[in-house]
Structure 1
Amino acid sequence: MPGTVAVRPYLLVLAFDGLLWLLVWLYVVSSGVTHSLGTWLTWLWCYRLVSLAILHHLARFINAESGQTVLMRWVAALCLLCPTYETVKTLLPVGSSYHCPVPDVGTVALGAASTSIACVLWEYVFPDKAKGDTVKEKKQQEARALLMRVVRYAAPDYLYLAAAFLFLALTAICETYIPIYIGKVIDILSGTYEHTSFLWAIGLMGLYSLGSSLFGGLRGGIFMCSLCRLNKRVRHMLFQNLMRQEVSFFEENKPGSLSSRLISDTDKMGRSVALNVNVLLRSLVKTVGMLWLMLGLSWELTLLACVEMPLTALLQNNYNTVSQTLSQQLQDCQAEARELASESIGAVHMVRSFHAERQELERYQGALDKIFRIKRRKGIYSAVHLLLRRMVTVGLKVLMLLQGRALISSQRLSMGSLLSFVLYQKDMATNMKHLVYIYGDMLTTVTASVKVFQLLDRTPKMREEGSLAPPTLEGKLAFNNVTFSYPSRQDVQALKDVTLEVAAGRMTALVGPNGSGKSSCVSLLQRFYEPRQGEVLLDGVPLRDYQHRYLRSKVAVVSQDPYLFSGSVGYNIQYGLQGCTEEQVKEAGRRANVDSFIWDFRDGYDTDVGECGGQLSGGQKQCIAIARALVRRPQILILDEATSCMDVHTQDAVQAVLNGAKGQTVLVIAHRLQTVEKADHIVFLDNGQVVEQGTHKELMDRKGQYYRLREKLFLED
C-alpha cells in the first residue's frame, strides 16, 4: 500500500476475516454439509458475500478518514477473489478444485497474499489523485485526450488496423503455444519414446513457429502501411493549415521550426503511438494467454511468477526518481563546465593579461569535480539497483525451481511442463514490464508532440475573405484614416491616420525616408495585415470583402528582392497561374527584358534558377519577377524598388513597358528621380504620416520636405 496509508486497519480486517473463516469452518465440520458441485459453490459465494458486508462496515468504522478508498478496494478483492477464481476453474477447468464449502488454511493464506500483491500493484500503477496532484492529473488528462485524437486520425485506416490486430493476435497465440510443445517434446524424449507422438509434437511446434513468423511479418507490414498513411494524412492537414495562417504568424515562428514540426514531429508522433499500441496489444494478448496456460500447468508456480513484477516495479520506480534527480544535476553541472570553458577560451587575452591561468584552471577543475561526484553517485545507485533487482529475480527463480522439484517429485508436474513454465516466466516478466510502462510512455510521447496539435488547431487571426468578385474593376485604391502597427511591434505605429488615394489608370509614387511607412502601405494593399483603424478600399469596397483568388488575379506586386523557387525560369514566370501557355510566358519575358539574358543560357526558359534563384544575379531575378507579374495582366501593379538591381539600360526598357500600359493602375516606390518624375501623383510620407501630395513640379515649387530631402531621397543618374 502507499506510504500514507496505515497498516493497522489492514491487519485488523485480516484478523477479523480469519475469525469469520474459523467460525464458518467449525460450523461446516459439525453440520456435515454435502460436497456436491452446486452446494460448495453456493456455500462459498454466500460465505464470502456475507464476509464482504461485515468487513465493509468494519473497515468504515476503524478507518473513517485516511486511505478509505484503498481499504475498501482491498476488502472487496479479498472477499471476491476466491469464489470468482473457483467459479472460473469450474466453468473452464484449468486445474483441480478442492470441493469444500470453505477453503482450507493454505488457500486462505494464498488468497490474502495474492490480493495484497494485486492491490499494491494497482495502487502503484494507478494511484488515487491527491490534493497536490491536480496539475499532474490535468496533464495526464490532456495527454489521454491527445492520444485519443491520434487514434481518431487513424480511423480512416480501420480495415488495415483490423487486419493488423487480427494478425497480431494470431502471432501472439502462436508464440504462446510454442513452449507447450517444447515441453511435450522433452517429456517424450525423457520418458517412453513414442514415434507418432514425437512427430505430432515436432510438427505442431514447427507449425506454430511458422505461423508466428508469417503472421508477425504480415502484422508488421500492415502496421507500417497504416503508419505511412497516418503520417501522410497528418502532414497534409498540418501543411494545409499552415498555408492558411496570416503573414505575421510566419514572422513570429522560424521556418526551420515549422519544417521540423511538419516532418520530424509528425513522424515521431505517428511512429511512437503506432509502435507503442502494437507492443501494448501484443503484450496484453500474450500475457493473458500465458497466464491461462501457466495456471493450467501450476497455480503455485504462477503465484511465484506474479510476485516478481510488483517487486521489480517498486525498485524501478525508486531508482527512476533518484536517477532523474541526478541526471538533472549532471546536466546543470555539464552546462556550467561548458560555460566556464567557453568563457575562459573566449577571453584568453584577458586571462593572459592578468596572469589568471591558474585561477581559471581551478575553477574548471572544481566544475569537473562536481561532475565526477554526481556520476559516481549515479553509478553507485545504478549498481545497487541492479544488484537488488538481480537478487529478487534470482531468488524467485530459485524458489520456483525448488517448488517445481517438489511438484515433479509428487508427480503433479512433468519435466517438460516445468521447462515450458520457465520459458513462459521469462517472457512474462518482459510482457508485464511493457504493460506497466508502455501506457505512460505513450502519454509522454504524445505530450512531446503537443506543438503539432497546437498548429493543427490554430485559426488565422485575420478576418475571413469575402465573396465579392465583380466582372470589371476600375482599379482605384484608397486609404481611409488608416492606423497600423505590426503584430510584433504593437507599441510602434507604422502608419498614423493615413488618408490617400491612388487614382485608377494612373501612376502614383510613394516617396519618403527609410521607415516612413511606404512598405507598410504595400503590405496592407496585399492584405498581409489588417489595419488597426480605418480601411483600405478598392473601388470603394474594403479589401476584405473581395475573394482572395480574385484579388490576387487583379493585383500584382514586384518587390525589391523577389523570391524565386527552385525550378526553371518558365516555371517561376507562370508560378501560381493556371492554364498559362508557353507563348504567354515568352511574351511576358520579352516585355520584362528577360530575353536580354535568357538566350545566353543553353536551356533558355527551361534553365534551372537554382535554390532561391541562386544561379541568377539580382537584376535577372527582378526581370523574372516583373515577367511573373505581367503574365497575369493585372489591373493594379505595385512596384517596390522593382528595378533597383538592374543596369540603366534595362531599367529604362522595363520602365517604359510598365508606364505604357493603358488603363492600368501603377503604384511605385523608387529611389530614382527619373522614375518618380514620370508619376502622375506623388505622395510624400514621413514618420508614418502623409506630409505632402502632388506632382513633381508642384512639390518642387512648394519647397517643402520633398524639395529639401530630394538629394537624400533619390540617386542621381
Structure 2
Amino acid sequence: MSGTLALVKPYVFLLTFDALLWLLIWLSVVSLGVTNSVGVTWLWCYRLVCWAILHHLALLINIEKGQQMVLVRWVAALCLLLPTYETVKTLIPFTLQNNCPVPDVGMVALCAAAASMACLLWEWVFHDKAKGDSGKQIKQQEARALLMRVVRYSYPDYLYLGAAFFFLTLTALGETYIPIYIGKVIDILSGTYDHDSFLSAIGLLGLFSLGSSLFGGLRGGMFMCSLCRMNKRIRHMLFQNLIRQEITFFEENKPGSLSSRLILDTDKMGRSVAMNVNVLLRSLVKTTGMLWLMLGLSWELTLLACVEMPLAVLLQNSYNMLSQDLSQQLQDCQAETQELAGEVIGAVRTVRSLHAEQQELRRYQEALDKMFNIKKRKGIYSAVHLLLRRTVTVGIKVLMLLVGRALIASQQLSMGSLLSFVLYQKDMATNMKHLVYIYGDMLNTVTSSVKVFQLLDRKPRMKEEGSLAPKQLEGKLAFHKVTFSYHSRQDVQALRNVTLEIAAERMTALVGLSGGGKSSCVSLLQRLYEPQGGEVLLDGEPLHHYEHRYLRSKMAVVSQNPVLFSGSVRYNIGYGLKGCSEEQVKEAAKRANAHDFICLLQDGYDTDVGECGDQLSAGQKQCIAIARALVRRPQILILDEATSSMDVNTQEAVQAVLNGAEGQTVLVIAHRLQTVERADHIIVMDNGEVVEQGTHQQLMEMEGQYYRLREKLFPED
C-alpha cells in the first residue's frame, strides 16, 4: 500500500499545482472582464508556460528514472491536450465559433481525465518497459519490430494501400456523422415540426449512410487486393529460398512443417497488415471524430464515458497477454498435427503392412487432445473476459442514462442529443475494444512470421557456386583426400580420406557392401552435401567453382528409387528441360527400353503416372528415370542401382545402351556381376575407404576383398 501511495503522490502534487495555475488564470480573466472566450493563441502561450513549470517540477521529483519519464509524458499530455483540441476544432469546417471558451471546472477536470487516460493507454499497450522487466515486454518489442518488417514487405502495394486508407477515412467520417443526424431527426419529430429542416436532416443522413457504404466497399476491395498481392509475393520469395537450401536442411525440417509455414503462416502475416490495419485505422479515425462530437454534445456524459475506456483497455490488455501465449501454443500444435497426419498418410502402405494403424491413431488422438485442451483454456479465458467486459459496459450505460435524464430535466440536453450520445458511446466502446484487441492481435499474428522470416533470411550452408562454364568438358572426376560425415551422424565418418579417379569417357563401377560409402560418393558428386575435408574435382576444378545450372546440364543421376511427379509420362521424361520436343522424348524412351510399355499404357505418353509415380511398377519407374537422364545427353551419367528393379531383358537392353555410349563418363553402382565386369574400371569400397581398384580381371587375379566378397556382392550371379 505504501508503495502505491508513493507512486501516486507525484501525480497528485502536479495535478494540484496545475489546478492552482488554472485558478490563478481564471481569477485574472474575471478581473479583466473577459468571461466569454479567449483566443487559441493566448491559450497555447499559457499552457506552454504551465508545461515548462510542471516539466521542471517533474524532473526535480526523486523517483526512478523510468517512472519519472512516465510522469514527464503525463505532464505534456495534461498541459497540451486542451490547446490541441481547441486548435483542431477551429480547423474543422462548420464549427460554430472560432474562439475557445474560458475553461471552467468541468473542462479542466475533463482534460485531466483525458490526459490520464491517454497516458494509461500508451503505457499499457504501446510503450516499451524497462529492460529489467519481465521477458514479455522484450517479446512485445520484438513483435513490433517484426510488424514493421511485415509493413515494409507491403511497400510495393503502396498505391493500393493509399487508396484503401483514403476510402477508409471517408467511410469513418461518414459513419461518425450518422448518429448526429439521427438525433436531429428525433428532435424535429418530438418538438415543433419543420418540414425543411426535416428534409435536410433526412437527406444528409441518407447521404452519409450511402457514402459510408460505398466507400466502405471500395476500402475492403483495396485492402483485399493488397493482401492477395502481398501473400503471393511472400510465398514466392519463401518458396524460392526454400528450394535453394541444402539437403541437410530438409532432413532437419519435415515437409509438413515447411508447408504449414508456406501456406498458413504467410497468410497470417498478410492479415496482420491488411485486415488488422484496416480495422485499426478505421477505429482510430472514428474514435477521434466521435470523441470530438461527444464533447460538443455534453462534457459530463463524455467524462462518464471515459471512465469505461481505461477499464476496457485494462481488461482487454490482460486478456491479450494470456491469449497470445495460448495462440502460440495452438499454432505449434496445429503444425505438429498437420505434420503427423501428412507423415502417416504419405507412408500408409508401411503403416498398414506393419499393422500400426492403432498406434498411429493413438498418436493422432494425443495430438488432438493437446490441441483441445489449449482451445478449452482459451475459451474459458474468453468467457471470463466477456463476462467482466459486459458487466462494466452495462454499469456505465445505467449511470449514463441516469445522468442524461437529469440533463434533459435541466434542459441542458435534448432527447435527440442523448440518443446520439448513446449511439456514439456504444460505437466508442466497440472502437476502443478494437484498438486494443487489434493491436494485440497484430502482435499475436505477427509472431507467426518469426519462422517465415527465419526461413526467408536463411542462407544455404553450402559453398557459393562459381562462374565456371567451359564450352568443352572432358568429364574427368576425382576425389582428393575427401572426408565426409552426415549432419545427423557427425561422429560417424561415411568417407575417410578417400582418393580416387573416375576416368573421362569410360565406365567406372563402385562396388562394396551396404554402408561402404558408395552412395555418399554419389551425393557429393551431385553437390547435395559438402565434404568436411578434401575436394571433389571435375576436370581438375572443385565442383563449387562451376555454375549450378551448367553443372546440372552436364551431369545426370538415376537413383535406385527414382522420384516421379504427378503428371504425364512425357512431362516426367522432359522434366526441367525447356523446348524438349516429342521426338527427343520418344528417342530417350526407346534407348531406355521404355517405349514399348509406354505405348501399352491407356493414353501412351499422355498417361498420368499418379502421385510419385504410384501407377507404375518399380521397374517402369526406373526405365522412365533413365530416359529422363538420357534425354539430357549428359556428359556424366551416374547410375545408383538404377536397374535393380528391372527384369533381365530390360537390364540387358539398358546395359547395351550404356556400353555403346560414346564420349560419356559413366559411373555405375550395381549388384549384378554382368554390369560390373564390363566396366573399364572397378573401385571397391569398404567402411568409407577405397580398398581395391582395377579391372574385373585384375581384381580376380589379386584374390583380394573383391574376390572374397564376390558371392555377397553379386548373389544372383
Separation in 1 of the partners of 2:409 and 2:570?
A: 88
Q: Which runs of 5+ in 1 are unaligned?
A: 331-367
- 1:646 shift after superposition: 0.6
- 1:703 shift after superposition: 1.3
What value does the CA root-mean-square deviation take over the aligned residues? 3.3
Q: Does 1:521 align with 2:508?
A: no
Q: Does 1:7 align with 2:15?
A: no
1:116-138 alpha-carbon deviations (Å, 9 max, x no partner): 34433333334562342374444
- What is the letter of the counterpart of residue 33 of structure 1? L
> Structure 1 residues 626, 391: closer, same or farther in 2, change over 3 A?
closer
Separation in 2 of the partners of 1:384 and 1:625?
A: 61
Q: Find the residue that maps to 2:480 and give its secondary structure.
A: strand
Q: Find the residue that maps to 2:499 and give its secondary structure.
A: strand
Kept in 1, the 8 Å contact 2:560–2:641? The answer is: yes
> Which deviates more from structure 2 when the two are superposed, residues 481-490 or residues 4-13?
4-13
Kept in 1, the 8 Å contact 2:174–2:209? The answer is: yes
Separation in 2 of the partners of 1:146 and 1:271?
A: 14
- What is the letter of the counterpart of residue 676 of structure 1? V
Q: Find the residue that maps to 1:213 and give its secondary structure.
A: helix
Q: Find the residue that maps to 2:12 and give its secondary structure.
A: helix
TM-score, structure 2 length as denominator? 0.86
> Structure 1 residues 660, 150: closer, same or farther in 2, change over 3 A?
same
- 1:398 shift after superposition: 2.8
Identify the residue that residue 432 of structure 2 maps to in structure 1.
Answer: 432
1:565-597 alpha-carbon deviations (Å, 9 max, x no partner): 111111111111222211111111111111231
> Structure 1 residues 540, 609: closer, same or farther in 2, change over 3 A?
same
Identify the residue that residue 181 of structure 2 maps to in structure 1.
Answer: 181
- 1:298 shift after superposition: 2.0
- 1:200 shift after superposition: 2.6
Q: How does 1:205-354 map to 2 (within 5 A)?
A: 205-317=205-317
1:473-518 alpha-carbon deviations (Å, 9 max, x no partner): 2221111111111222222111111111111121111001110000
Identify the residue that residue 63 of structure 1 maps to in structure 2.
Answer: 62
- What is the letter of the counterpart of residue 590 of structure 2? R
Identify the residue that residue 360 of structure 1 maps to in structure 2.
Answer: none
Identify the residue that residue 354 of structure 1 maps to in structure 2.
Answer: none
> Structure 1 residues 458, 699: closer, same or farther in 2, change over 3 A?
same
Separation in 2 of the partners of 1:288 and 1:523?
A: 64
Identify the residue that residue 420 of structure 1 maps to in structure 2.
Answer: 420
- 1:13 shift after superposition: 3.1
- 1:98 shift after superposition: 10
Separation in 1 of the partners of 2:654 and 2:44?
A: 98
Q: Find the residue that maps to 1:637 and give its secondary structure.
A: strand
> Which deviates more from structure 2 when the two are superposed, residues 574-583 or residues 684-693?
574-583
Separation in 1 of the partners of 2:541 and 2:329?
A: 62
Q: Which runs of 5+ in 2 are unaligned?
A: 331-368
> Structure 1 residues 104, 152: closer, same or farther in 2, change over 3 A?
closer
Q: Find the residue that maps to 1:6 and give its secondary structure.
A: helix
Q: Find the residue that maps to 1:481 and give its secondary structure.
A: strand
Separation in 1 of the partners of 2:378 and 2:447?
A: 31
- 1:45 shift after superposition: 5.2
Work out the percentage of aligned pairs sharing the same amino acid: 78
> Structure 1 residues 620, 195: closer, same or farther in 2, change over 3 A?
same
- 1:670 shift after superposition: 0.6
Identify the residue that residue 334 of structure 1 maps to in structure 2.
Answer: none
Q: Does 1:33 align with 2:32?
A: yes
Separation in 1 of the partners of 2:127 and 2:662?
A: 78
- 1:425 shift after superposition: 0.8
Computing the radius of gyration over CA atoms, which structure comes out larger, 1 or 2?
1
Identify the residue that residue 664 of structure 1 maps to in structure 2.
Answer: 664
- 1:462 shift after superposition: 1.0
> Structure 1 residues 3, 560: closer, same or farther in 2, change over 3 A?
farther
> Which deviates more from structure 2 when the two are superposed, residues 556-565 or residues 192-201?
192-201
> Structure 1 residues 114, 561: closer, same or farther in 2, change over 3 A?
closer
Identify the residue that residue 198 of structure 2 maps to in structure 1.
Answer: 198
- 1:42 shift after superposition: 6.8
> Structure 1 residues 412, 157: closer, same or farther in 2, change over 3 A?
same
Separation in 2 of the partners of 1:328 and 1:681?
A: 58
- 1:197 shift after superposition: 2.5
Separation in 2 of the partners of 1:660 and 1:278?
A: 68
Identify the residue that residue 121 of structure 2 maps to in structure 1.
Answer: 121
- What is the letter of the counterpart of residue 573 of structure 1? I
1:178-225 alpha-carbon deviations (Å, 9 max, x no partner): 112211211121122223332232222222222222221222122112
TM-score, structure 1 length as denominator? 0.86
> Structure 1 residues 622, 285: closer, same or farther in 2, change over 3 A?
same
Q: How does 1:124-135 map to 2 (within 5 A)?
A: 124-127=124-127, 129-133=129-133, 135=135
Identify the residue that residue 172 of structure 1 maps to in structure 2.
Answer: 172
Separation in 1 of the partners of 2:98 and 2:218?
A: 41
> Structure 1 residues 8, 529: closer, same or farther in 2, change over 3 A?
same
Q: Find the residue that maps to 2:434 and give its secondary structure.
A: helix
Identify the residue that residue 342 of structure 1 maps to in structure 2.
Answer: none
> Structure 1 residues 536, 169: closer, same or farther in 2, change over 3 A?
same
- 1:34 shift after superposition: 4.0
Separation in 1 of the partners of 2:579 and 2:41?
A: 83
Separation in 2 of the partners of 1:528 and 1:91?
A: 67
